[in-house]
Structure 1
Amino acid sequence: MMQENRNFILAIVLTMGILLGYDYFYTKPRQEAAEKARQEQLAAQKEADGKSAQAGAAVDAGSIPALEQPIVKQVPVARDNVLANAPRLPIRSDRVHGSISLRGGRIDDLTLADYRVEADKDAPEVVLLSPSETAQGYFAEFGWAGIENAPRNNAVWQADKDELVAGSEVTLTWANGEGLLFVRTIALDENYMFTITQEVRNTSAQPVTLAPYGRVVRHGRPEDKALYILHEGPIWVMDEGKEEFSYDEIAEEPRQEQSHDGGWLGITDKYWLVALIPDQKGLFTGGLKRYLSGGSEKFQADYIREAVTLQPGQSVKVTNRLFAGAKKVGLLENYRDKLDIKLFNYAIDWGWFDFLTKPIFYGLDYLYGLTGNFGVAILLFTVVIRLILFPIANKQFISMSKMKKLTPKLKALKEKYGDDRMRLQQETMALYKKEQVNPLASCLPIFIQIPVFFALYKTLYVTIDMRHAPFFGWIKDLSAPDPLLVTNLFGLIPWDPPGFLAIGVLPILMGVTMWLQQKLNPQVGDPVQQKIFMFMPIMFTFILAQFAVGLVIYWTWNNILSIIQQWIIMRRVEEELPENATS
């Protein structure tokens, strides 16, 4: 028995060591090594900028034109200054604000009207796209490859309207002076989907061969480090399905693949997506790559379609789409079905447990529709989970209550047969059988709830519906940790505690309920194991303090319901099994 206790304690210690040490000893060193290698590569690139510029200028016929490769390092310009110093076509929509640059025809200015940087309603809007000259350049561009005299970044387009209004379209035109007229029609729906129709009219005396392309370019990498449970970075859906790539993977090896059966590609963040969606019925070649330009990184997701030859007097027209906005579940699913975009709803990283995370989201979303509060929806959802697991939990608590009443008997057996381990195990199992107690019954609900807990955590973490969703009182964002910290006396002390000391009120309440629940459980015989169990509520308080407060609400409320259920069952068992029944 002592050996089993030692193994149990060792398992707990090793498990927590792995969970707490993974980020410090594995993830953090990898990130630091990758950052060091990246800085060394950037330094080497700076020395060879002249050669890189010369090499980058060469463009093969039919390939996507290379981005500008400046010899000197670019100095980022303030976003407002860039927007003020270029001809622009304003975008008017209830969902997005921004403009299209008429110089180059790029979609490079977009903020999300429904989402703020912070929970405060007066906080600035989330900036999604920014011009190339800014420090966080992020833009979408469409054009034609294979000919020298196609419109490039400095071409100034003429618009037929003064603004692009949601639900309508605007037409841009540019003539190359050699008999080719380029026409680009841009439409925006009521949400985040742009439809770009490109047309070329050949009025020259010579045939021309050219291929339409589109690309999304991002300067640098996101400043915030995502958890390992979430993918942020390049992503595509090709013939083989969805694939996700880290920025490091693309830096080491560019990707290129053809798709014959639809698909899309782009760059995804936790809540936002910028994705190119070529015509789903045509062949295209998708690419993911990184450039070193002006001493900084540029990541690019692009596609190019099959080249066409235009005879004099002919024209060609192609239609593609650009999604630039928030990854709302219902919206992505609607685009998937309406526009037949393959796996578009999987732009949200549902994870390995998508068979749990998706139903959990739908359940929470339904309850939110009834209550208007995601926090209340989590409380009701917890009740539903308890009801589903009620038969199993009932057996668990009955078994635990019987085990608690058997504690004196087990202690007596240990004193009597402590030197004979084999006999002690035999007598203990005989007692369990006689009293119809299954010691493993208490473990099953825990194992069942672990994937439910993780799936709920994943749902709260990746779905934008929980972002800045308020509960009551001081809880303004269910997707963020509890902001009311006990460790700085609720803000009275002008001190911002480090992560592991940022302990909020709700995590402490969770720890208290966990401790109360342990008091109702049968006490283990080994003193060391008792101390381990007593320490666990404190340990989980520190761990869950860093998690989304919505998850802490779930765990705390689940503990309270468990305590109530266990107390009722214990009273019933005491009535059914008086003390002399076990003697």
Structure 2
Amino acid sequence: MDIFAFPPLTLLLDSAYSALLALSALLEPVGRSASAALAVVIVTLAVRAALIPVGVSQARAEQLRARLAPRLRTLQQRHGGDRERLQRETLALYRDEQASPLAGCLPLAVQAAVVGILYTLFLRPEIAGHPNELLAHDLLGAPLGSSLISAIGGGLDAPTALVWAVVLVVITIVADITRRVFRPQVPDDGPLAAPGMLGVMNALHYLTAVFAVFVPLAAALYLVVTVTWTLVQRWALRRRYPLPAA
């Protein structure tokens, strides 16, 4: 089922296509053949800048959750055998503290939507019945509409291999820095303290690099910019809203 066949989403996709194509044409004197790639980077920066207030709220919520963690563990120990009672008490705790257990979901939802649109824009040969001109653009010889998997299947040339190598190395380095700097505060007696669970949590940081292999290069560029932005923003906000000592 094609969700973009739904009229409102068709209009959204066509509007996004027209806007990105116009921005690419505007940047052509500067970016030349990489103007579409530069347009993707600018769109990513604009999206992340618009989400800064949400990021601040997310940092405050993270600080509050860390402060509430001992009380949440007490509730789990007290009502662990009664899941309904535990849920009620947990929600009541968040309500009393004027917090939401779902805080921070909005940035993920917005970014997932943007990646989905970019993925579609650089995947379809036609948009709203006309040829997709974005597919003619590349970054230093690497087609923006091709994923690494498809590029390998079609014969990987040197420029494409180099661009993808840089993309994956940057995502992996940022993921490793994020893993080291933002280690979760896990209680020694909790289930997440088990070596296997810690290993799984550490591996989750690198899922973006795995995901990037399967999406068009344009969407992978979005991931490069957004994970780098996220690291810098989290570092700045963590200094502004430090977590309480474990």
TM-score band by shorter chain is 0.5 to 0.7
> What CA distance in whole angstroms lies between the structure 1 residues aligned with 2:183 and 2:136?
37
Q: Which residue of 1 aligns with 2:50?
A: 388
- Cα deviation digits, residues 169-202 of structure 1 (max 9, x gap): xxxxxxxxxxxxxxxxxxxxxxxxxxxxxxxxxx
State yes or no: 1:359 paired with 2:19: yes
TM-aligned CA deviation for residue 565 of structure 1: 0.9
Match of 1:450 among 94, 105, 112: 112
- Seen in structure 2, the aligned counterparts of structure 1 residues 526 and 481 have a Cα distance that, compared at 3 Å, is same
Q: Tell which deviates more after alignment, 461-470 or 383-392.
A: 461-470
Alignment of 1:483-562 (within 5 A): 504-507=165-168, 509-514=170-175, 516-517=177-178, 520=182, 527=192, 533-562=201-230
Contact 2:122 2:135 survives alignment (8 Å): yes
Q: Which residue of 2 aligns with 1:464?
A: 133
Q: Tell which deviates more after alignment, 382-391 or 410-419.
A: 410-419
Letter of the structure 1 residue corresponding to residue 225 of structure 2: W
TM-aligned CA deviation for residue 460 of structure 1: 2.8
Contact 1:479 1:549 survives alignment (8 Å): yes
- Cα deviation digits, residues 485-505 of structure 1 (max 9, x gap): 9xxxx999xxxxxxxxxx855
Contact 2:13 2:117 survives alignment (8 Å): yes
Q: Which residue of 2 aligns with 1:117?
A: none
- Seen in structure 2, the aligned counterparts of structure 1 residues 357 and 377 have a Cα distance that, compared at 3 Å, is closer
TM-aligned CA deviation for residue 560 of structure 1: 0.9
Letter of the structure 2 residue corresponding to residue 469 of structure 1: D
- Seen in structure 2, the aligned counterparts of structure 1 residues 415 and 551 have a Cα distance that, compared at 3 Å, is same
Match of 1:397 among 25, 39, 59: 59
- Cα deviation digits, residues 118-174 of structure 1 (max 9, x gap): xxxxxxxxxxxxxxxxxxxxxxxxxxxxxxxxxxxxxxxxxxxxxxxxxxxxxxxxx
Contact 1:523 1:530 survives alignment (8 Å): no
TM-aligned CA deviation for residue 371 of structure 1: 3.8
TM-aligned CA deviation for residue 469 of structure 1: 1.9
Letter of the structure 2 residue corresponding to residue 393 of structure 1: G
- Seen in structure 2, the aligned counterparts of structure 1 residues 230 and 444 have a Cα distance that, compared at 3 Å, is closer
Match of 1:433 among 95, 104, 111: 95
TM-aligned CA deviation for residue 468 of structure 1: 4.6
> What CA distance in whole angstroms lies between the structure 2 residues aligned with 1:398 and 1:508?
31
Alignment of 1:270-281 (within 5 A): none
Letter of the structure 2 residue corresponding to residue 429 of structure 1: L
TM-aligned CA deviation for residue 555 of structure 1: 0.6
State yes or no: 1:478 paired with 2:144: yes
Q: Which residue of 2 aligns with 1:205?
A: none
- Seen in structure 2, the aligned counterparts of structure 1 residues 579 and 533 have a Cα distance that, compared at 3 Å, is closer
List alignment gaps of at least 5 residues for structure 2: 125-131, 159-163
Give the length in aligned residue pairs. 217
TM-aligned CA deviation for residue 230 of structure 1: 9.8
Q: Which residue of 2 aligns with 1:570?
A: 238
Q: Which structure would you say has the larger RCO, counting Cα contacts within 8 Å and 6 or more residues apart?
A: 2
TM-aligned CA deviation for residue 480 of structure 1: 2.5
> What CA distance in whole angstroms lies between the structure 2 residues aligned with 1:229 and 1:504?
32
Q: Which residue of 1 aligns with 2:161?
A: none
Contact 1:480 1:549 survives alignment (8 Å): yes
Letter of the structure 2 residue corresponding to residue 507 of structure 1: L
Q: Which residue of 1 aligns with 2:129?
A: none
Q: Which residue of 2 aligns with 1:191?
A: none
- Cα deviation digits, residues 216-239 of structure 1 (max 9, x gap): xxxxxxxxxxxx7999xxxxxxxx
Would you tell me which structure has more helix in proportion to its own residues?
A: 2
Contact 2:63 2:244 survives alignment (8 Å): no
> What CA distance in whole angstroms lies between the structure 1 residues aligned with 2:42 and 2:17?
17
Letter of the structure 1 residue corresponding to residue 52 of structure 2: F
Alignment of 1:108-257 (within 5 A): none
Contact 1:357 1:455 survives alignment (8 Å): no
Tell me the percent identity: 23
> What CA distance in whole angstroms lies between the structure 2 residues aligned with 1:518 and 1:415?
29
Q: Which residue of 1 aligns with 2:75?
A: 413
Structural RMSD (CA): 4.1
TM-score (norm 2): 0.66
Alignment of 1:98-113 (within 5 A): none
- Seen in structure 2, the aligned counterparts of structure 1 residues 578 and 543 have a Cα distance that, compared at 3 Å, is closer
